[in-house]
Amino acid sequence: MLQNIKNNTRETSQLKKDGPYYKPIAKEVETFEHSYLQKLPFLLKGPTGTGKSRFIEYMAHRLDQKLITVSCHEETSSTDLIGRYIIKGAETVWLDGPLTTAVKTGAILYLDEIAEARPDVIVAIHSLTDHRRELFIDKLGETVRAHPDFMLVASFNPGYQRGFKELKPSTRQRFVAVSFHYPEARSEAVILVNETGISEGDAKKLVNIANKIRNLTELGLAETVSTRLLVDAAKLIGSGLSKRLAVHVAVVEPLTDDVEVITALNDLCDLMI
Ligand code: ADP
């Protein structure tokens, strides 16, 4: 089986050219491949914009698996995932939700920001996250065994600040979990160059700015500069916007609405780029 994965990996490395770009940061690719092999549910933990979604897109492509993504929010319910009856003409017909489709067809289901979803979502996935690997569809009174290729992946922002939802230990312990952080400076600059074609010099400056702001913990920002914000700034620079303005609008403004903090950060960034 492992050989299959290895072969698969080799085959898909050619495909990688037209697949999503992802720069591995630690051992997450290897860890995911083995978890996929064992069909263990997988949890990506980390702040927003640290490459979690990109990673799962990359892995699905690498393993040649279909990926179904659900962006969870506070209204996301088990019905949204499992399915519902809809009225079609004079009839009511059953429509599978994304979870049921993934379970039946053997796709990777990615529940982005799972902690945001309503509690019944966690209940619905329970029997899929242990040895049973089955989904109970209460509205149909049916139990569906998961396709051998089905895998459940979720992301979660641990948010060490107030305002973030927690994930219960009993739920967390159903997953193999990997932490995503901001990459170290050299890797982050490589990501910016690859993603946007920006010069290495500018990429390094953007990364320096990010690390400077990340270290300003006294600002009490709910979330600090993510790789995503740097990618956005780099894209604007590549598109011809002045470097300072690009940093102001793509890095500083999204972080806070506090006018004093914005002014201070803009001044700091102007000195650095
Ligand atoms: P998350 O899902 O953690 O919120 P994303 O996966 O959407 O974050 O990442 C945001 C952006 O940051 C991506 O679109 C990509 O441009 C970039 N990125 C972050 N980490 C990486 C990485 N390791 N390799 C390639 N791109 C990355």
pTM exceeds cut of 0.85: yes
Which tokens hold the place of 101?
A: 């489709």
Closest by Cα among 214, 189, 191 to 202? 189
Q: Is the minimum distance from the CB of 49 to ligand 1 under 6 angstroms? A: yes
The residue contributing the CA closest to ligand 1 atom 11 is: 228
The DSSP symbol for 64 reads T
User: 250 pLDDT exceeds 90?
Assistant: yes
For ligand 1, whether the C-beta of 179 sits within 6 Å is no
Distance 195 CA to ligand 1 centre (A): 10
How far is residue 263's CA from residue 255's CA, in Å, rounded to a whole number? 12
Atom of ligand 1 nearest to the CA of 55: 6
| Residue whose structure tokens are 């640290």 | 50
Q: Verify whether ligand 1 is closer than 6 Å to residue 225 (CB atom).
A: no
Answer yes or no: are the C-beta atoms of 251 and 209 closer than 8 Å.
Answer: yes
- β-strand pairing of 83-88 with 91-96: antiparallel
The pLDDT tens digits of the residues spanning 16-38 come to 457 899 999 999 999 999 999 99
Mean pLDDT of the chain: 91
Q: What is the pLDDT of residues 138-179, one digit of tens each?
A: 999 999 999 999 999 999 998 755 556 788 888 889 999 999
Rounded percentage of the chain residues whose pLDDT exceeds 70: 92
Q: Residue 30: exposed, middle, or buried by beta-carbon count in 10 A (0-12, 13-18, 19+)?
A: exposed
pLDDT in tens, 109-130: 999 999 999 999 999 999 999 9
Phi and psi angles of residue 162, each rounded to the nearest 5 degrees, phi first: -65, 155
Residues across the chain: 273
Tell whether ligand 1 has an atom less than 6 A from the beta carbon of residue 196: no
